[in-house]
Structures are given as C-alpha cells and as structure tokens.
Structure 1
Amino acid sequence: MDKRILIPTDFSKNALNATRYALDLYAKLNCEFYFLNVFRLDNYTTNTLIMPEPGSAEYEGAKGASEEAFAKLLDMLELHHDNPKHSYHTISSFNFLSEAIKQTIDSKDIDLVIMGTQGATGAKGVIFGSNTVNAMEKIRECPVMAIPDNLRFSIPKEIVFPTNYKSSFSRKELNYLIEIAKMHNTSIKVVYFTKKTTLTEDQEKHKQLLDDILQGVDHSFHTLTDKDVAQGITSFVQSRNSDMIAFINKKHFLFNSIFSRPLVKEIGYDATVPILALNES
C-alpha cells in the first residue's frame, strides 16, 4: 500500500527544501504526496464580519494564485524529482493552517506530515516556526516531521531517540522510526537523561521491551546526566553529527516541554537536524 505524506507549503524556499528532503527520504517507497497551501485574502482579517465567498473575485483570485504556484511546483518536481514510485496531489484551501492540516489528514488518510521550520520570512501569518511547533504539539492523528531551513538531504546514518523509560513502548508508535532506519540502514541511539544512576524495575522492563522492538535495526543505549534536556540532546547530536531526532509525543512525557516556547527555541526553531514527533498509540 502506498504511503500518504502531507506537505504543507507556502511556496517559500524553506517549504521547497522540506519537499526535496521528503522526496529523497522516501525515494525507495511508493508514496502519494499531498501538497497543501493555505491561501490568504489581502483585505480579510479574522475581525472582518463578512467572510469572502467562493465565487467572489477576491476569493477566486487568491485561489487562482495558489493553483498557479502549484503548477510551477509540479513542473519543477517533474523536472528534478521524476520518481515513478511517487505521485503528487495539490490542495488549495482558505482556512487556518492547523484546521486545514487536520481536515486533510482525515479526508486523505495521511500517514505522515512533513513541514519546513520557517516560512516566507517576514510574511505575516505564514511563519512556519510557530506553525510547525503547534503542529507537533497538537496533531495526534499521525507523526509530524520538521525539516530545518537549508538542510540538504544526506542518507541518515544515526537517529537520536531520547526517552525516560517511564512509559511502556509499542511497535505501532515506533513504526515510522523503524521504517526509516530499515530503509537507510540507520543506527538508532537511545538516550536516557537522568540524575540517578540506576533504573527502577519498571524502567528496566520498558528498556528491555524497547530493546526487543528495535531488534531488527542497529541500536545502542546511552545515558546522559545533563540537567537541561534540550541542551543535552543538542550537544549529543552535535558531538556525534547525528542526522535526526525522534521522540514519542506523550502528554505526560518528561519531554513534552521540549516543544514549549523556551526549549523549542533551542531545538525546534534553531534545529540543525530533522525532528520526528511520533504519537503514542
């Protein structure tokens, strides 16, 4: 069965960069890519009482501009990314980005969302920094991957997976991580942050289960004593030239604060590698 990947785009360089990364990362798989553009109307704000209607000159003009930009994007992809395993679909929507993403996930049975971390610089309402963070925090229907600005694709050799071992693991929630690792012969580095030296009995059980689930891929376990989790992950990634960070987005998880405003500035906004937010099953 084809994998269905949603890529929100504002046609900026960063969005195009995320698109290229996604196409290269999944070059070996049969994929349907859905490109979503949320278009804006110049004279419309949320304070305006009258909603612009489909059919009105302003609405149709903005939608037409979105569709025109899509035509150029598809021409470019045909020229530079002609992969018989990939097919492309476009969606132009007048909506809030988060709402449009959720509707598309639902209506197209999307497996994964891939976004750039920044949008068109200075353009009001389309800065992907906060949008990407919100998507990672709020989208629970499927995993979300954020691609840093200007990052060129190279085959991922190492993915860093931070955990506190406080919750159990399942194959379902780690499915996308394992899939990427198997596709590219990537090693997974499980990193545990702690102030204590020993694990509780439950933590030991969860670690053993994780070890069992990751049996099919190259993986190893590491322990760090950094007090600042975000800084610790960043240092670990930089010191080893790791290629990606993946974590399970649990509401009660030690790292759910990673994507709150102060920490995302360190990891998300200034990310040097892609970040994959997996969902707990």
Structure 2
Amino acid sequence: MDKRILIPTDFSKNALNAARYALDLYTKLNCEFYFLNVFRLTNYTTNTLILPEPGSAEYEAAKGASEEAFIKLLDMLELHHDNPKHSYHTISSFNFLSEAMKQTIDNKDIDLVVMGTQGATGAKGIIFGSNTVNAMEKIRECPVLAVPDELRFSIPKEIVFPTNYKSSFSRKELNYLIEIAKMHNTSIRVVYFTKKTTLTEDQEKHKQLLDDILQGVDHSFHTVPDKDVAQGITSFVQSRNSDMIAFINKKHFLFNSIFSRPLVKEIGYDATVPILALNES
C-alpha cells in the first residue's frame, strides 16, 4: 500500500520548503501526498454568530482562491519533483487547522504529517510556530515531522535519538525511524543524558530491547554525563553535524522539557535539523 503523507500548507515559502523536503525524503517510496489548506474569510471572526455557508459569495471566493493557489503549488512541485511514484491530492477546508488535520488523518488513513516550523506570519525569535508545536504535542495517530525554515534536503547520514531508557520500546513506535534509516542508509545515534554512571536493571533491559529492535540499521549508544538535556541534544547535534532528531513523544517526557517554545528560545536552539515526533504505542 502507498504511504500517505499529509502536508498542511498556507502557501508560504516555509510550507513549500517542508513539502519539497518530504518529497525528497520519500523519493524512493510510492506515496500519496495530501496537501491541506485551511482558508479564512476576511469578514468572519469567532464573534460572528452566523457562519458563512458553502455557496455564499464570500465562502466560494475564499475557497476558489485556495484552489487556485493549489494549482500553482502543484505546478511548481511537478516541475522540480517529477516522480512517477508520487501522486498529489489537495484539500481546501474552512475549519480550524487542528480539526482539519485530525479529520484528514482519520478520513485518509494518514501515515505521517510533515510541517514547516513557521508559517507566513512566523514571528522572529519563535523557532517553532504554535501550529507545529500543537501538532507535535497533540497528534497521536501518526508521527509528525517538523522541517526548519530554509533547510535544503540532503540525504540524512545520522539521526540522533535521545532517550532515558525508563520505558520499554516497541517496533511499532520505531518503525518510521527505522524506515527512514533503511531508505537512506542512515545511522542512528542513541543518546542518554545522565548524571549517574550506571543504568538500573530495568534501564539495561530497555536498552537491550532497543538494541535488538535496531538490528539491521547502523546504530550506536552514547552517554552524555552531567548535561542539561536540551543543551546536550543541541551540542551533540551541532558537534557531529547530525541531520535529524527523532524522539518518542511520551506524555511528560522530552516534549515539554525540550521542544516547547519557551525553552527552545531560552537555550537558543536553532532548529537547524528536522525533528521527528514518534508516537508512544
């Protein structure tokens, strides 16, 4: 079955960049790409009691503008990404982005969401736009890949996978990470940040299970002592010129402590590499 990838777009350069990255990353696989645009109505606000109806002049004009922008987008993509393995679909929706994304994930059986880190209105100093942070935090049905602004695709040579070994692992929650590694012959570097030198018995078991699951792809284990986790990831990625960060989006684990915007801003994390948020099974 073809892989189904959802790419929300506001037709900004950043969204186009994320789309191009996704097309290049999955160039070897048969994929159906679903492009989603949530359109707005100029005179409509949440204070307005009357919702614009399909068929009304304002609604149809806004939808028509979205569909016209899609024609230009697909022409641009097909010009540079003429891949017989890929097919494109477009969805113009008058809805909240989060709702439109959830509906599309359910209705189209989406495997992966790919988003740019900022939209057309991205404020300077905020690395991840709120839509991207919300998607990485809230979407549990499939992984979310966030692609930094202006990042050009290059074949990923190394993916950094931070973990604390406190929970068990499953093949299901790691299958997208392993798939990318196998597609591009990419190495996975498992990184544990700790002030202790030894693992508990349970942590050792979880590490061994992870080692077993990653058999078949090049991988290695690294321990970084006495490091603030967020700074540690940044330093590790920068020192090795790594190409991607992947983490399992466990509730109350790394997401809130590392990738939330306040801390991202505080530590000056540049989001120079894509971040893949996998789902806890």
Q: What band does the TM-score fall into relative to the shorter chain?
A: over 0.9
Shift of 1:124: 14
Aligned-partner SS, 1:246: strand
Percent of residue pairs bearing the same amino acid type: 94
User: Following the alignment from structure 1 to structure 2, what is the Cα–Cα distance between the partners of residues 186 and 13?
Assistant: 28
User: Following the alignment from structure 1 to structure 2, what is the Cα–Cα distance between the partners of residues 171 and 212?
Assistant: 10
How large is the RMSD of aligned CA atoms in angstroms?
2.2
Matching of residues 235-254 of structure 1 within 5 Å: 235-254=235-254
User: In the superposition, relative to structure 1, how do residues 174 and 122 fare at CA in structure 2: closer, same or farther (>3 Å)?
Assistant: closer
* Runs of at least 4 residues off by over 4 Å: 122-128, 266-269
User: Following the alignment from structure 1 to structure 2, what is the Cα–Cα distance between the partners of residues 191 and 122?
Assistant: 31
Runs of 5+ in structure 2 lacking a partner? none
Contact 2:128–2:261 (CA<8 Å) still a contact in 1?
no
User: In the superposition, relative to structure 1, how do residues 276 and 191 fare at CA in structure 2: closer, same or farther (>3 Å)?
Assistant: same
User: Following the alignment from structure 1 to structure 2, what is the Cα–Cα distance between the partners of residues 120 and 101?
Assistant: 18
Q: Please list the CA deviations of residues 101-134 of structure 1 after superposition, one character each: whole Å capped at 9, or x if unmatched.
A: 0000000000000000011136999997110000
Matching of residues 90-169 of structure 1 within 5 Å: 90-121=90-121, 129-169=129-169
Q: Please list the CA deviations of residues 124-183 of structure 1 after superposition, one character each: whole Å capped at 9, or x if unmatched.
A: 999971100000000000000000000000000000000000000000000000000000
Aligned-partner SS, 1:151: coil
Contact 1:117–1:149 (CA<8 Å) still a contact in 2?
yes
> Which sits farther off after the overlay, 133-142 or 118-127?
118-127
User: In the superposition, relative to structure 1, how do residues 91 and 124 fare at CA in structure 2: closer, same or farther (>3 Å)?
Assistant: farther
Q: Please list the CA deviations of residues 239-276 of structure 1 after superposition, one character each: whole Å capped at 9, or x if unmatched.
A: 10000000000014255422333224368973000000
Aligned-partner SS, 2:278: strand
Contact 1:142–1:278 (CA<8 Å) still a contact in 2?
yes
Matching of residues 28-39 of structure 1 within 5 Å: 28-39=28-39
User: Following the alignment from structure 2 to structure 1, what is the Cα–Cα distance between the partners of residues 5 and 255?
Assistant: 26
User: In the superposition, relative to structure 1, how do residues 190 and 156 fare at CA in structure 2: closer, same or farther (>3 Å)?
Assistant: same
User: Following the alignment from structure 2 to structure 1, what is the Cα–Cα distance between the partners of residues 53 and 249?
Assistant: 38
Contact 2:122–2:129 (CA<8 Å) still a contact in 1?
no
User: In the superposition, relative to structure 1, how do residues 170 and 122 fare at CA in structure 2: closer, same or farther (>3 Å)?
Assistant: closer
TM-score normalised according to structure 2 size:
0.95
Shift of 1:188: 0.2
Contact 2:147–2:274 (CA<8 Å) still a contact in 1?
yes
How many residues get paired? 281
User: Following the alignment from structure 1 to structure 2, what is the Cα–Cα distance between the partners of residues 59 and 52?
Assistant: 6
User: Following the alignment from structure 2 to structure 1, what is the Cα–Cα distance between the partners of residues 14 and 203?
Assistant: 40
TM-score normalised according to structure 1 size:
0.95
User: Following the alignment from structure 1 to structure 2, what is the Cα–Cα distance between the partners of residues 83 and 135?
Assistant: 28
User: Following the alignment from structure 1 to structure 2, what is the Cα–Cα distance between the partners of residues 126 and 261?
Assistant: 7
Aligned-partner SS, 2:129: helix
